[in-house]
Amino acid sequence: MAISAKIVKELRDATGAGMMDCKKALVEADGDFAKAEKLLKEMGLAAVAKRADRATENGAIFAGSRDGKAVLLELVCETDFVAKNEDFIALGEKLVDMVIDNGYTEKCEALEDEVKNLITKIKENMSLNRMQVWDVDDTTVVGSYVHEGHLATMVFIKADAASAVSDPAVVELANDLALHVAAFTPAYLSKDSVDPAYIEENTEIFTKQAAALGKPEKVLAGIVQGKMNKHLAEVCFLLQPFVKDDSMSVEQRVAAVAKEAGASLKVVDYAFYKVGVAQ
């Protein structure tokens, strides 16, 4: 039977498949729209399987926070061209919404099906590589920063009063600290959160360095401690010089804003996501 251009276009609009694939499916289905749609889906899933082993070294990071949830997720693909594709970006944003709306806490079939649907349209391997979800109560401020889609951060500040959550200075602080995390990529939140094994390893290194200086034994401990304090100020978020004013530490900036807002503020968590980089 003759296949009209109109029905081919309708099938394309419904499925996102190419015109030639749509016409081929309609011919095979003898013009039956529903059957052709099913055939296209089967063709697409077969294509997904064929592409599953292709390297996915590009992609984008997506962030979202609302309704008591905060989400970071990484969607990866084969090429930078696709990573900037409108459909790819729309998919990432949709996945964030699905996670929040459905209360997902990890990757699941519903999310992966959405990814598969786009693979059948774009014909490039992609996957939801990782995601992280936080529960956010009404006394927590969430700051976020996304840089050109390839990097995203979140910072969580706990306040002792719900009124502080909507304070413009506190909201600005949260977003500034998210920018800080992107710029300085701290390894630890605070001195107290540093792995003891890390402290021990670096203490040994600094002790050897101090001994090589030929200083008296009684001053070596002070030298080692000084080196350790300097190092911790480099790797601990709260001890690092604040990104917008290096005359003060992050901890001091938080204290200053807390005083201005008339509330107690505490940075309780942060996250850093970059395409292809686990942290």
pLDDT tens digits for 199-233?
999 888 888 888 887 777 777 888 888 898 999 99
Which residues form the domain of 25?
Answer: 5-51
How many structural domains is the chain composed of?
2
* Domain CATH for 25: 1.10.8.10
Whether 4 shows a pLDDT value over 90: the answer reads: no
Phi, psi (rounded to 5 degrees) for 194: -70, 135
Whether 47 shows a pLDDT value over 90: the answer reads: no
Domain annotation covers residue 202? yes
Domain annotation covers residue 207? yes
What is the DSSP code (8-state) at residue 52?
Answer: T
Domain annotation covers residue 40? yes
Choose one of 35, 51, 67: the last residue of a domain: 51
Domain annotation covers residue 118? no
Domain annotation covers residue 186? no
In this predicted model, which residue has the larger pLDDT, 221 or 241? 241
Domain annotation covers residue 244? no
* Neighbouring residues of 54: CB distance < 8 A, sequence distance ≥ 6: 78, 124, 125
DSSP characters over 233-258: HHHBGGGSEETTEEEEEHHHHHHHHH
Q: What is the tens place of the pLDDT at every residue in 101-132?
A: 999 999 999 999 899 888 877 878 889 999 99
Domain annotation covers residue 36? yes
Whether 42 shows a pLDDT value over 90: the answer reads: no
Domain annotation covers residue 147? no
Whether 279 shows a pLDDT value over 60: the answer reads: no
